[in-house]
Amino acid sequence: MNDNQNFERIIKKEKRKKLLITAVISSIVTVTIGFVAVMATTIILGKQMDVQAEKQINQFNIADLIYSPNIRSTSQRYRLTAMTRATLSSDRQKNIDGYRVAYPEKKVILNLSGPESSSETSSNIYKNDTIKNINIMAANPKTGQKEPIFFNRAYPNWYGSQKNKDKLMSPITPTHEAKTLQALPNTLGEVAITFDKRYRYEDILKMMPHNIMINYYWLGFHSAALDTSSHVGCYVGLNAKDDGSGKLNDQFAGLPDKTKYNDYQGLKKALKSQINRKNVDHIDIAKDAEKQLAPSLKTAEFAGVIVTGRTENLAKLDQLPYTYASNVGITTPIMPYQSSIK
């Protein structure tokens, strides 16, 4: 073999070596670019999902404060089920004079655009029309549990003044269900009391019987055009402390957290964020509620309360002069191994 042949072999070997190195480098670069692209996409999508999650958690916190009559969230869970899909859920319960009664879970499925679906459903409304009266009952569609109802005292007069009544809901006769609880001994119950007028917070604390627990303060409606059956589940108010004192706070005493909503001043802040989000009969619920607010809790007035306690004590609420209507919610048996607050 001469020198020229050896030289050609060396050249061919070097070419193959360079081609192999080029192929390997090209593959590494391609994989690296692909990996970087996937990671960048994952990070971008993750940030977008985090933004949607933060918005929905914020909405959960607002709903826990102002749209949850005697309903409390005990935990929140966020779970990413896919790159562009996640689930936010909240365990909830009611306080029935110290007994913790489970309430249906609240769950929202999120995507990059926001909420995709929600577990929230409207209450089932049942009406019993008679010649003189139209009675009403609301029930949770998931559990069948009875839901307490408040009444708009101004609606019957407003309805009577309207000319075109065919397109309007007929007034619902105020119920007085508290007295029926006398027939249900050894039981704890929940009752919504609609007052005959709006009362100051401090006066409510004094005038309610001490053997029942005030769980929730209802702000009431400013508009006379909101009928009783349409606004079931659209109540705006505040849950009282869980210790049986029935008290509210005007403002959170700790360090303020801009992402959370607490107490009466937090209610005002939350309502501003809810304007144009929930309408009933073309009436903005948040705007309507804002018209009922006072500068502070000291001068705040409420149109009703939700109370809990022993049924023999709740049964006497219909005898009180300020009771315009009473409507029963959940009831639960008293257990020998568990004490109630009241």
Mean pLDDT along residues 87-95:
93
Task: Quote the pLDDT of residue 83.
Answer: 77
H/E element holding 91? strand 85-96
Sign of CA dihedral 182, 194, 328, 176: positive
The arithmetic mean of pLDDT across residues 193-197, rounded, is 98
122 — pLDDT class (breaks 50, 70, 90): confident
In this predicted structure, the answer to whether residue 8 has a pLDDT above a threshold of 70 is: no
Question: What is this structure's pTM?
Answer: 0.86
Least reliable range by pLDDT among 90-104, 251-265, 318-332: 251-265
Give the pLDDT of residue 243: 94
Which residue did the predictor score with more confidence, 38 or 119?
119
176 φ, ψ (degrees, to nearest 5):
-135, 70
* Pairing relationship of beta strands 85-96 and 146-147 according to DSSP bridges: unpaired
Are residues 248 and 204 in contact, defined by beta-carbon separation less than 8 angstroms? no
Alpha carbon distance 119, 109 (integer Å): 9
Which of 6-10, 50-54, 194-198 has the highest average model confidence (pLDDT)?
Answer: 194-198
Residue 62: half-sphere exposure toward Cβ, Cα within 13 Å: 18
Q: What is the pLDDT of residue 131?
A: 44
Q: Tell me what pLDDT residue 103 has.
A: 94
Q: What is the mean pLDDT of the chain?
A: 86
- List pLDDT tens digits, range 63-82: 888 899 999 999 888 888 88
How much is the average pLDDT of 307-318?
98
Q: What is the mean pLDDT of residues 200-211?
A: 97
Inter-residue contact 27 to 36 (CB < 8 Å):
no
Is residue 137 within a helix (H) or strand (E), and if so which, with residue range?
Answer: strand 134-139
Lowest mean per-residue pLDDT among 130-144, 147-161, 192-206: 130-144
* CA 85-89-124 angle, 5° bins: 110
What is the Cα–Cα distance from 225 to 155, expressed in whole angstroms? 6
Q: What confidence tens digit (pLDDT) does each residue in 156-180 have?
A: 999 999 988 888 888 889 999 999 9
Q: What is the pLDDT of residue 238?
A: 96
Q: What angle do CA 85, 87, 90 make, to 5 degrees?
A: 165
pLDDT given for residue 7 in this prediction: 58
pLDDT grade for 267, boundaries at 50, 70 and 90: very high
Token pair for 142: 């998931």
- Across residues 290-306, what is the average pLDDT? 96
Q: Give me the DSSP letters along 165-212.
A: GGGSPPPPPPPB-GGGGGGS-SEEEEEEEEEEEEEEHHHHHHHS-TTS
Whose CA is closest to 270, among 63, 51, 53? 63
For 267-290, the three-class secondary structure string (H helix, E strand, C coil) is HHHHHHHCCCCCEECCEEHHHHHH
Residue 295 scores a pLDDT above 90:
yes
Q: To the nearest 10°, the Cα dihedral for 128, 133, 139, 141? A: 50
pLDDT classification of 135: cutoffs 50, 70, 90 = confident
311: nearest Cα among 284, 338, 329: 329
Residue identified by tokens 């619920």 is 285
Q: Beta strand 213-218 with 237-239: parallel, antiparallel or unpaired?
A: antiparallel
Among residues 119, 123, 117, 118, the alpha carbon closest in space to that of 69 is found at 123
DSSP 122: P
For residue 239, the cross-strand partners are 216
